[in-house]
Amino acid sequence: MSEIRPNLVLLGFMGVGKSTVGRGVARRLGLRFVDMDREIERKAGARIPEIFATRGESAFRALESEVAAELGGRDGLVIAAGGGVILRQENLDALSARGAVVVGLTGDPEVMWERVRRSTHRPLLQGPDPRARFMALHAEREPLYQALRHRIEATSRPTAEVVEAVAALYPYT
């Protein structure tokens, strides 16, 4: 019988590198990588922009909470959570259940903006001034990320270094 290995959950704002770092950490630790946004799309049978357009942000957030609960009940995953997961305590509670290690990736908002500014699949950045919206959302959410126990700055150093720093926080190897 194999030993149960708790999840490792990556939280952070859009463009901080959760998916890229998560894939690397999963390889490094021998865990399965799951991108929450892809899981939401699979469950909904629609892409995220379509969910926002046809059902609205509140329906998306409800789906996000359902997926957080489902993933939080599993083991052996590296989960790249969506940027807005941190807005609901129920999501954090679900994802941190069962001994999961939760790590907040933080970084320079200008670097993150450069990474996402040409994205066409980010509904929260649609509108007349996407950069101003990005910066406002970042300012609103950053204190929530800073309140997490484990935080790693992810935009000023190579991805391989960030992967190693995150992997070092996982005691179940």
Q: Judge whether 78 lies within some domain.
A: yes
Domain harbouring 132, CATH code: 3.40.50.300
* CA dist., res. 118 & res. 100, Å (int): 33
pLDDT at residue 2, as a whole number: 58
List pLDDT tens digits, range 25-73.
999 999 999 999 999 999 999 999 999 999 999 999 999 999 999 999 9
Q: Judge whether 171 lies within some domain.
A: no
Total domains, the chain = 1
Q: Judge whether 147 lies within some domain.
A: yes
> Residue 113: is its pLDDT beyond 60?
yes
The contacts of residue 12 (CB under 8 Å, 6+ apart) are 18, 83, 104, 105, 106, 107, 145, 154
List pLDDT tens digits, range 1-26.
457 899 999 999 999 999 999 999 99
Whether 153 contacts 142, CB under 8 Å: no
pLDDT at residue 107, as a whole number: 95
List pLDDT tens digits, range 132-144.
999 999 999 999 9
Q: Judge whether 91 lies within some domain.
A: yes
> Residue 81: is its pLDDT beyond 90?
yes
Q: Judge whether 111 lies within some domain.
A: yes
pLDDT at residue 144, as a whole number: 95
pLDDT at residue 120, as a whole number: 77
pLDDT at residue 39, as a whole number: 96
> Residue 121: is its pLDDT beyond 90?
no
Q: Judge whether 127 lies within some domain.
A: yes
* CA dist., res. 144 & res. 134, Å (int): 16
pLDDT at residue 1, as a whole number: 43
Q: Judge whether 3 lies within some domain.
A: no
How many helices and strands in the chain, by DSSP H and E? 8, 5
Q: Judge whether 172 lies within some domain.
A: no
Question: Domain range for residue 91?
Answer: 8-165
> Residue 173: is its pLDDT beyond 90?
no
